[in-house]
Structure 1
Amino acid sequence: MSERTPTPGRELVAAFAIEGALLSCEPLKRGHIHDTFVASVETPAGPRRYVLQRINTHVFRDPGAVMDNLLRVTGHQRRALEREGAPDADRRALRVVPTRDGRAFQADEAGRPWRCFPFVEGTVSHERPAHAGQARAAALAFGRFARVLADLPPPPLHVTIPGFHDLAGRADALEASVRRDAAGRAGSVAREIDATRAWLERAAGFAGEAGLPRRPVHNDCKLNNLLFDAARDEALCVVDLDTVMEGCAAYDFGELVRTATCPGAEDERDLAGMRVLLPLHEALARGFLEGTGALLTAEERDSLGTAGARMALENAVRFLTDYLDGDVYFRVKGPSHNLDRHRAQLRLAELLHAERAALERHVRGAAR
């Protein structure tokens, strides 16, 4: 997916409950899925910035369900912050800016859904942790997020992406893409396909989820889905909440491990130079288990040691599937980008699996 959405103009901005004149609107260059912009507005109280985001309906087929979840989750977060007397609540939980007629999103002239949030000033995001303390702070924030949502009142959250972390389903989708060969690429990546099949067979021994509780989790706990206070380096606000729905705690911890313990990029091409930084994993384990507190069962804690390898493998499968389909899901920078991502993530799964004993030891130590 390489198409870009045109920059939103005054008419779209005016559809939201924002008082003031649009000064500028610039792309925010982050994320694989949505198109995001920062709008500067001259309000009666002075200049203010807002995030405008087009919901990708190829990925999220029901934007109404996405926004219903988001309103429920952020409202629950805010009530928890009020009970705790937390300072800067507006910087610790997202707030949806409604349209002028009270809806959660606005369709543009082409029917594309847009939503709006106040820009959280004085914050930064990180692709990877600069040190173990930052890794622990991130894991603590995501662990607390899961703990806060544990008492979210019924009904269950909408399923915004069916089968999102269904590894068996992802494997079936890969095989369907191999057979379909929509982009004519399958013959050139036969080695990668065979290697992925072998790892999927091997995963039966470490990626099982039978008997694990299903609970509201983020489902996409990358480090860059967390805003840090720019001055104090404090983890403030969990963002990108579109995938919040029922799942396993291991999905969240595993995605943190996948994205935070390897200094290489997600699309790293120097596979031989890739490595896992064990001190960062230990910090993640301590932060996540501190954040979740008494929430997790013994079985859930036991699943965390292999969670990183499981999530790296799942993403390797997804990237290879999208490559075979012609790059229709993830935004790419070139024709081999998804293939580069696949190779790097499969290599990371290998590295994390090789360190399984040490990673499980970290989790046991953090649980004491």
Structure 2
Amino acid sequence: MFENILRIYGLDPVTANVQQFGDGLINHTWKVNTPEQNYILQKVNSDVFKRPSDIDQNFSLLRTYLNKECPDYLFVSPVVATNGESLLHIDNGYYRLFPFIEGSVSVNVLTKKEEAFEAAKQFGKFTKLLNGFNVKELNITIPDFHNLALRYDQFTIACNEASAERLEKAAESIQFIKEHHGLVQTYNEILNNTAIPLRVIHHDTKISNVLFDDQYKGLCVIDLDTVMPGYFISDVGDMMRTYLSAVSEEETDFSKIAIRKEFFKAIYDGYMGEMQDVLTDAEKPYFVYAGKFIIYMQAIRFLADYLQNDIYYGAKYENHNFNRAITQITLLKQYIKLEPELLSL
């Protein structure tokens, strides 16, 4: 398989060395080492991304714009093969090749507020540089990805169809979600506010989607498959959800879940350092809401999946998605408790 792909990219499969790379959960990724240059090869998960060609077209549109308007920005986009294509359809799979950025490093576990600052700065910079881009030209690569109203409706359906046993176990969590339905109403207000624009949003701002230099200064953002039209609360909120707690969504000792206020400040300073003059006056008051928005939505998704017998995320052990939901609910409770302090930071 690799031999054919490498040849289409003009690489010699005899001198190339291909090894599995990273721990991404969606796409299959390999590093390709050659005597001349190193690359990253990916097989796009077409179960998640139903139309890989839409992603490829988004890359092309963004690359053309940034090359013209911001030529010094490090935009990591697919290599064009010898057949003129940047997305190969081979043996019912979709593949693309990226240049490997030598000297770059990535972070899988966030331990320093400085890293949070640099990451937030890079995600803010990405959206800022594309402020003049016509966002309506972008394809929607995952429809309704951050549609909180839809997720709540799906949760309601899950509650109506769940077994009595799972409903009983999740009763307290279900009640919490219902009591905070106001977060959905706020989301709908944002959608209906014409002063809050759609922007070019990454939608997956985990720390591993930022490249750093050897001094851990941010270089750029990567993994752009989820780049779509969206609202700034998606990127900010996802950073809140994944950066603020020292433990991950897989933690089962819920006493370890706590908000690191200094990391909130780092996110704010990094992101707003780039976006302060870009965000409208109508957007800025929703910065703290952004954290509630994404944490609440992820709690809903995990809880709904548990109620539907783990059909979406799957479960590695009994009550896996229930525990994940409790982790998000606990994080949200901590966040809401600290909200007055966060608003004043």
Normalising to structure 2: TM-score of the pair?
A: 0.88
Question: Is the aligned partner of 1:78 residue 2:67?
Answer: yes
Q: CA 1:204 to 1:95, structure 2 compared with 1: closer, same or farther past 3 Å? A: closer
Question: Is the aligned partner of 1:105 residue 2:87?
Answer: yes
- Amino acid paired to 1:213: P
Aligned mate of 1:214, from 194, 198, 220: 198
Q: Distance in 1 between matches of 2:105 and 2:261?
A: 25
Aligned mate of 1:15, from 8, 22, 41: 8
Q: What is the aligned partner in structure 2 of residue 161 from structure 1?
A: 142
CA contact (8 A) 1:218 1:245 kept: yes
2:224 aligned counterpart, secondary structure: coil
Aligned mate of 2:261, from 275, 278, 281: 278
Q: What is the aligned partner in structure 2 of residue 223 from structure 1?
A: 207
Q: CA 1:321 to 1:119, structure 2 compared with 1: closer, same or farther past 3 Å? A: farther
Q: What is the aligned partner in structure 2 of residue 96 from structure 1?
A: 78
CA contact (8 A) 2:296 2:329 kept: yes
Q: What is the aligned partner in structure 2 of residue 3 from structure 1?
A: none
Q: What is the aligned partner in structure 1 of residue 216 from structure 2?
A: 233
Number of residues of Structure 1 aligned to a counterpart in Structure 2: 341
Aligned mate of 1:308, from 267, 273, 291: 291
C-alpha offsets along residues 128-159 of structure 1, whole Å, 9 cap, x if unaligned? 43322222111111111111111114652111
Q: Distance in 2 between matches of 1:295 and 1:104?
A: 32
Residue 253 (structure 1) shift: 0.9
Q: Distance in 2 between matches of 1:189 and 1:125?
A: 39
Q: Distance in 1 between matches of 2:165 and 2:53?
A: 36
Q: CA 1:286 to 1:36, structure 2 compared with 1: closer, same or farther past 3 Å? A: same
Q: CA 1:125 to 1:51, structure 2 compared with 1: closer, same or farther past 3 Å? A: same
Q: Distance in 1 between matches of 2:331 and 2:128?
A: 29
2:137 aligned counterpart, secondary structure: coil
Q: What is the aligned partner in structure 2 of residue 259 from structure 1?
A: 242
1:355 aligned counterpart, secondary structure: helix
Aligned mate of 2:101, from 96, 116, 120: 120
- Which residues of structure 2 form unaligned runs of 5+? none
- Amino acid paired to 2:221: V
1:123 aligned counterpart, secondary structure: coil
CA contact (8 A) 1:139 1:291 kept: no
Q: Distance in 1 between matches of 2:237 and 2:173?
A: 23
CA contact (8 A) 1:105 1:115 kept: yes
Residue 273 (structure 1) shift: 1.8
Q: CA 1:185 to 1:222, structure 2 compared with 1: closer, same or farther past 3 Å? A: farther
- Amino acid paired to 1:115: R
Q: Percent identity?
A: 26
Q: CA 1:204 to 1:331, structure 2 compared with 1: closer, same or farther past 3 Å? A: closer
CA contact (8 A) 1:332 1:338 kept: yes
CA contact (8 A) 2:315 2:321 kept: yes
Normalising to structure 1: TM-score of the pair?
A: 0.83
Q: Distance in 2 between matches of 1:184 and 1:239?
A: 43
Q: What is the aligned partner in structure 2 of residue 55 from structure 1?
A: 44
Q: CA 1:128 to 1:206, structure 2 compared with 1: closer, same or farther past 3 Å? A: farther
- Amino acid paired to 2:343: E
- Which residues of structure 1 form unaligned runs of 5+? 1-7, 363-368
Q: Distance in 1 between matches of 2:164 and 2:223?
A: 33
Residue 339 (structure 1) shift: 3.4
The worse-fitting range, judged by mean Cα deviation, of 118-127 and 194-203 is 194-203
CA contact (8 A) 1:276 1:352 kept: yes
Q: Distance in 2 between matches of 1:330 and 1:31?
A: 15
Q: CA 1:38 to 1:189, structure 2 compared with 1: closer, same or farther past 3 Å? A: farther
- Amino acid paired to 2:199: R
Q: CA 1:353 to 1:118, structure 2 compared with 1: closer, same or farther past 3 Å? A: same
